[in-house]
């Protein structure tokens, strides 16, 4: 009874960079990201046999409520004109085609205005019964791991064939911290991919030490003020001096878990009476075996 949540942007970027750009439709349209996304989805369905599936997309990749408190949030990804996220020219035209195809397959796609896909996945993960498998290449989502509810991250950093299934024990081994404190660790360490600096002067080792000794930001700050024995004076000083950033860090780093999700059927799509539209898109864009693999994975 597994729910599978696809971090769609993560998947299509991975597909785009992982598949040759010589994969073209008959009219010359690039289709490497489309084919890679379909292939990965088919393989994931085969591996995890979900009974519920959602392709999560960005309502807003820089939500106003995060940018308002930290204008540099993901500013490193802005184009030179200050608008939109940098996206490879050959990827941009593929996304509408892919979304149209997923719609024809009946795969639910959910994006909510002023929220990131991470927030959508987090809300599904806490509202829907498990088991839940969150498919992403983004380590931010490690904060959602919950062994009691069987929420795990299918982490694609090393590719699908060698992916990690992240639970609390995996986080503990990887970062030498309690498995339920990844978000706290990230608040202090920062995340260059999101333009988040963390607390000035605190790197991965310092952040791990803090996460091992304190349950939240307030505890760490109190420990710094009280000269907690686990904190060397220099580290305590950095925590104290980072007070302004630490006021906003939880809002920046923690996924929202209360997004107003649309009411929709997220069960695995049933075979439509007519597959002609899917086959039309397949032929038009030369998607060949990639469409066939997804049809097969869905047992149509």
**Of 134, 154, 144, 174, residue with least CA distance to 254:** 144
Segment 10-31 mean pLDDT: 95
Q: What are the Cα distances from residue 224, in Å, to 178, 246, 253, 268?
A: 20, 13, 21, 50
3-state secondary structure 226-255: CCCCCCCHHHHHHHHHCHHHHHHHHHHHCC
Measure the CA–CA gap between 172 and 186, rounded to whole angstroms: 14
Measure the CA–CA gap between 147 and 169, rounded to whole angstroms: 9
pTM over the 0.75 mark: yes
Q: How confident is the model at residue 76 (pLDDT cuts 50, 70, 90)?
A: confident
The full set of domain ranges for the chain reads: 3-171+256-297, 182-253
HSE-up of 251 (CA within 13 Å, CB side)? Answer: 15
* Average pLDDT value for the chain: 95
In this prediction, residue 89 carries a pLDDT of 84
In this prediction, residue 130 carries a pLDDT of 87
Six token digits for residue 157: 């950093």
Q: Which residue, chain included where needed, has tokens 């878990």?
A: 257
Contact indicator for 235, 209 with CB cutoff of 8 Å: yes
Residue range 238-252, pLDDT digits in tens? 999 999 999 999 999
DSSP, residue by residue, 277-292: HHHHHHHHHT-HHHHH
Q: Does domain 3-171+256-297 fall into CATH 3.40.50.1010?
A: yes
Angle (nearest 5°) at CA 179 between 174 and 184: 95
Based on its alpha-carbon atoms, the radius of gyration of the chain, rounded to whole angstroms, reads 21
Residue range 191-212, pLDDT digits in tens? 988 889 999 999 999 999 999 9
Q: Where does residue 122 rank: exposed (0-12), middle (13-18), buried (19+ CB within 10 A)?
A: buried
Contact indicator for 35, 23 with CB cutoff of 8 Å: yes
**Of 167, 166, 171, 195, residue with least CA distance to 185:** 171
Helix residue spans in the chain (DSSP H): 8-18, 32-48, 64-67, 94-105, 117-127, 168-175, 182-189, 204-213, 217-225, 233-241, 243-253, 276-285, 288-297
Q: Indicate the length of the chain as a whole number.
A: 300
In whole angstroms, what separates CA 123 from the centre of its chain?
13
φ, ψ of residue 7 in degrees (nearest 5): -80, 90
In this prediction, residue 88 carries a pLDDT of 82
Which residues are paired to 136 by β-bridges? 155
In this prediction, residue 79 carries a pLDDT of 61
Measure the CA–CA gap between 151 and 167, rounded to whole angstroms: 8
Segment 162-167 mean pLDDT: 97
């Amino acid at each position: 009874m597994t729910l599978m949540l696809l971090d769609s942007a993560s998947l299509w970027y991975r597909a785009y960079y992982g598949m040759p750009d010589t994969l073209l439709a008959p009219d010359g349209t690039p289709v490497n990201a489309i084919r890679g996304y379909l292939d990965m989805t088919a393989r994931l369905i085969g591996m995890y046999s979900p009974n519920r599936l959602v392709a999560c997309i960005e309502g807003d990749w820089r939500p106003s409520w995060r940018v308002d408190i930290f204008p540099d949030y993901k500013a490193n990804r802005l184009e030179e004109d200050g608008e939109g996220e940098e996206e490879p020219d050959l990827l941009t035209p593929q996304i509408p085609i892919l979304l149209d195809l997923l719609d024809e397959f009946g795969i639910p796609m959910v994006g909510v205005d002023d929220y990131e896909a991470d927030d959508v996945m987090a809300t599904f993960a806490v509202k829907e019964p498990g088991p839940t498998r969150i498919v992403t290449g983004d380590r931010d989502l490690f904060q959602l791991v919950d062994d009691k509810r069987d929420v795990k991250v299918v982490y694609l950093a090393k590719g699908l064939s060698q992916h990690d299934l992240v639970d609390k024990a995996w986080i503990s081994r990887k970062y030498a911290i309690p498995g339920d404190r990844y978000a706290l660790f990230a608040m202090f360490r920062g995340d260059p991919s999101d333009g988040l600096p963390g607390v000035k002067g605190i790197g991965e080792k310092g952040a791990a030490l803090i996460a091992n000794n304190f349950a939240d930001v307030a505890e760490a700050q109190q420990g710094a003020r009280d000269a907690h024995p686990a904190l060397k004076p220099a580290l305590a000083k950095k925590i104290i001096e980072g007070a302004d950033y630490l006021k906003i860090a939880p809002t920046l780093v923690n996924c929202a878990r209360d997004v107003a999700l649309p009411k929709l059927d997220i069960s695995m799509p049933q075979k439509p009476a007519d597959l002609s539209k899917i086959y039309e898109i397949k032929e038009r864009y030369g998607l060949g075996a990639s469409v066939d693999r997804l049809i097969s994975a869905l047992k149509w």
